[in-house]
Amino acid sequence: MASLNQHRVYIPSNARANHYLLAEITPNDEFYKSFNNINACYQRIARQLFAACDEYELHNVHLLANDKLPVVRFNDESYQLETDKQMLFFYNPRYHEAHKLHYTENQQSKKIRLLFLATGDDIRAHSAQFHNNVQKVLDLLQQQLFVDQPRFKLRDHQHLTYDLFAKEKGNKESYGYKLRSLYPRYQSRQCEIPSTHAEMTYVTFSIPLTRNIKTQFQSEINSQTYQPFYTHFSKLFTQLCGDNKLTHAAMVANGAMPIIRNSQVDRNEGNEELQKISFDIEDTAPQIKIFFEADKLVETLHFVIVAAEHNKHEIGYGRFMNQVEKAVHGLCDELAINKQRQDLSVRFFQHISYPY
């Protein structure tokens, strides 16, 4: 029983689940030339996509032809916001529905992205059926529209988000999760995933630099450079990861949002909005990556902890999450944080991708 409990993590019952699938295709020039104009191309794809989605009960779907990276977050109000590099989708799976086309007029997009957002009350329990329905829609599009085109790259994203300080706020009720890997979970529910797929499992959390924290580190912040301030956090974070046998992690303090990738597919790169960080999860050597600008004080410190191959257990990622929580608590215990008033959102991510 003690061994089983090590592989179960207790997450507050008010945790929020998100699930979405992103299908990307890079059409060749001949595909675009088969239409009268670019705008007509996008509108034709949208009509056929949304008709297929109605057939398979996919109620919140977006077609993106603007070469912007979609980012999905929970919110009680529905928003779609654009920046130079990102398309931000805020929604509540329980009641937000939409079929929308987002494109730049008269401009040929390098990639066409289809974003399928899960809807309903218990989306984690119905994740395999949702994935199956998306596969059926893609089958129809490939037969009807994308004939002789490159295959889709399909990415399945699942998140669990919760406040690490929920107990301090009086939310004592929790639920024990084993957090099984997506591949065996889908196999047991008759959802076919190719054996040649890629998986990534990781956790993110962010710490706003409040006035209390700035006061706590006043001497480091008031120096001629912010390097001592960032170095303190990076050393503490690295030590806590080592203490808890967490070998793959990153701290991002350059004003960009971290985007996590497998190093077999993508390399590290960044811009003013996004910091892409690549990890080799099969390599047992530590990979701790630190990004900051010594002359720039950011508003928020972003942290990432990735599950390497040795963190993966047949029973699930519960043990990994318990190790992560110990590291995060250790970091927060060093800081002037009011746990009764301030939230610290921990996001557990599970991704699986493959050509379809």
User: How distant is the alpha carbon of residue 301 from its chain centre?
Assistant: 17
User: How distant is the alpha carbon of residue 27 from its chain centre?
Assistant: 25
- Residue 38 pLDDT: 93
Summarize the confidence of residues 22-37 as an average pLDDT.
92
266, 209 contact by CB (below 8 A): no
Summarize the confidence of residues 183-205 as an average pLDDT.
94
Q: Which of 133-142, 143-152, 347-356 has the lowest mean pLDDT?
A: 143-152
Mean pLDDT rounded to a whole number for the chain? 92
Summarize the confidence of residues 149-163 as an average pLDDT.
94
Q: Which of 3-12, 18-27, 216-225, 280-289 has the lowest mean pLDDT?
A: 3-12
- Residue 219 pLDDT: 87
- Residue 133 pLDDT: 98
pTM (predicted TM-score):
0.91
- Residue 3 pLDDT: 55
302, 290 contact by CB (below 8 A): no
Summarize the confidence of residues 32-54 as an average pLDDT.
95
Q: What percent of the chain has pLDDT over 90?
A: 84
- What tokens appear for 197 in the block? 């797929």
- Residue 257 pLDDT: 92
Summarize the confidence of residues 105-134 as an average pLDDT.
95
351, 317 contact by CB (below 8 A): no
Summarize the confidence of residues 116-144 as an average pLDDT.
95
- Residue 100 pLDDT: 97
Rg (CA), the chain: 21
User: How distant is the alpha carbon of residue 269 from its chain centre?
Assistant: 17
- Closest of 341, 71, 90, 17 to residue 208, by C-alpha: 341
Tell me which DSSP letter residue 311 carries.
Answer: G
Q: What does the chain come to in residues?
A: 356
- Residue 2 pLDDT: 43
List the domain boundaries for the chain: 2-7+202-348, 27-149
- Residue 268 pLDDT: 53
- The 10s digit of each residue's pLDDT in 296-337 is 999 999 999 999 999 999 899 999 999 999 999 999 999 989
